[in-house]
């Protein structure tokens, strides 16, 4: 009898534990509704460039973000020497990865970075693979594209072509599509919404043009369109039409990484980014 009672208690305890775990899991998902839609929300560490990379991890965590896009020029900080350079020595890289793992955070994207040689690209892909990077944002020359595409397939890592404002090479979606024709699906577009706005382009129309090739986002909202000096504002308070962008992301069933950027109020922008993230998630 006592043995049967023990088995019943053990069974009930197992059900209670599983229920608690399910509740915690559901809570985490509900806090990050983008994951239910199949994509990740991160923050570009460049937004925290006035602080060290290690300091930026605490800031992103306070914004309820688990992922970051590492800026290659970011000073590491702490007892880690140098910058977030893909050529860092193995010891530094391993220590950095251990810190990320301990905090439950991940560098899911890396860039903007464009090695000049094939050897450089080899080193970059090796670094990305060891760090768990899913997507590299870059502005490669058209001549580099075939080699990069082959490396993407080899490592299972995406490369997303980033757009700076006109007159840069990839300022318009058409110029990105031209170099992607016939290439691996693992090389596509990194949509920098703010730079499209500075070039006088409608972000939603640009996203529609790139349908099927969107791999990555640098998402921001600016106070004006068509003005190179326009600056970041809280999402939904600028000219970007963030609700329209969200609807287009959902319509296309986007499955990459959205990197939140806020390149303004540099020394005190953590709360700004947190508010942007909250607004974005409410729109989902």
How crowded is residue 93: how many other Cβ atoms within 10 Å of its Cβ?
18
- Whether 6 has a pLDDT exceeding 90, the answer reads no
- Cα–Cα distance, 114 to 168 (Å, whole number): 14
Residues 2 and 95 in one domain: no
What is the tens place of the pLDDT at every residue in 130-155? Answer: 999 999 999 999 999 999 999 999 99
Tokens of 190: 């990194």
* Confidence class for position 45, pLDDT limits 50, 70, 90: very high
- Whether 23 has a pLDDT exceeding 50, the answer reads no
Residues 89 and 198 in one domain: yes
Domain that holds residue 10: 1-31
pLDDT for res 31: 84
Q: Could you tell me what percentage of the chain is helix, strand and coil, using 3-state DSSP and rounding each to the nearest 5?
A: 50, 15, 35
Residues 214 and 249 in one domain: yes
pLDDT for res 21: 43
CA dihedral 154, 160, 162, 163 (to 10 degrees): 120
Q: Residue 161 belongs to what H/E stretch?
A: strand 158-162
Mean pLDDT confidence for 100-112:
97
Residues 72 and 27 in one domain: no
Residues 27 and 44 in one domain: no
pLDDT for res 30: 60
Tokens of 24: 């915690």
Which position has the token pair 């929300």?
41
Q: How many domains does the chain have?
A: 2
Residues 22 and 75 in one domain: no
- Whether 27 has a pLDDT exceeding 80, the answer reads no
Mean pLDDT confidence for 59-65:
95
Residues 6 and 62 in one domain: no
Contact between residue 187 and residue 149 where contact means Cβ atoms under 8 Å apart:
yes
pLDDT for res 17: 42
* Confidence class for position 207, pLDDT limits 50, 70, 90: very high
pTM of the model: 0.89
Which position has the token pair 């972000």?
203
Residues 14 and 65 in one domain: no
- Cα–Cα distance, 195 to 210 (Å, whole number): 15
- Whether 233 has a pLDDT exceeding 90, the answer reads yes
Residues 52 and 113 in one domain: yes
What is the tens place of the pLDDT at every residue in 81-96? Answer: 999 999 999 999 999 9
């Amino acid at each position: 009898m006592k043995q049967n009672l023990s088995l019943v208690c053990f069974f009930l305890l197992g059900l209670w534990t599983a229920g608690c775990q399910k509740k915690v899991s559901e809570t985490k998902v509900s806090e990050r509704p983008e994951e239910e839609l199949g994509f990740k929300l991160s923050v570009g560490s460049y937004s925290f460039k006035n602080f060290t990379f290690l300091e930026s991890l605490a800031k992103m965590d306070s914004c309820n973000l688990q992922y970051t896009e590492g800026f290659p020029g970011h000073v590491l900080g702490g007892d880690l020497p140098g910058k977030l350079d893909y050529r860092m020595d193995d010891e530094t890289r391993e220590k950095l990865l251990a810190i990320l793992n301990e905090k439950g955070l991940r560098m899911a994207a890396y860039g903007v970075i464009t090695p000049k040689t094939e050897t450089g690209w080899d080193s970059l892909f090796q670094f990305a693979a060891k760090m768990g990077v899913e997507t590299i944002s870059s502005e490669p020359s058209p001549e580099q594209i075939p080699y990069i595409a082959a490396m993407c397939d080899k490592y299972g890592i995406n490369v997303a072509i980033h757009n700076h404002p006109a007159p840069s090479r990839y300022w318009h979606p058409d110029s990105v599509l031209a170099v992607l024709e016939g290439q691996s699906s693992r090389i596509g577009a990194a949509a920098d919404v703010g730079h499209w706005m500075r070039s006088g382009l409608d972000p939603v129309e640009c996203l529609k043009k790139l349908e099927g090739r969107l791999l990555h986002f640098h998402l921001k909202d600016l106070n004006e369109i068509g003005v190179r000096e326009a600056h970041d504002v809280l999402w939904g308070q600028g000219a970007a039409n963030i609700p329209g962008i969200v609807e287009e992301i959902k319509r296309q069933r986007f499955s990459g990484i959205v990197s939140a950027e806020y390149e303004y109020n540099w020394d005190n922008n953590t709360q700004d980014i947190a508010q942007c993230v909250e607004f974005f998630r409410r729109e989902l």
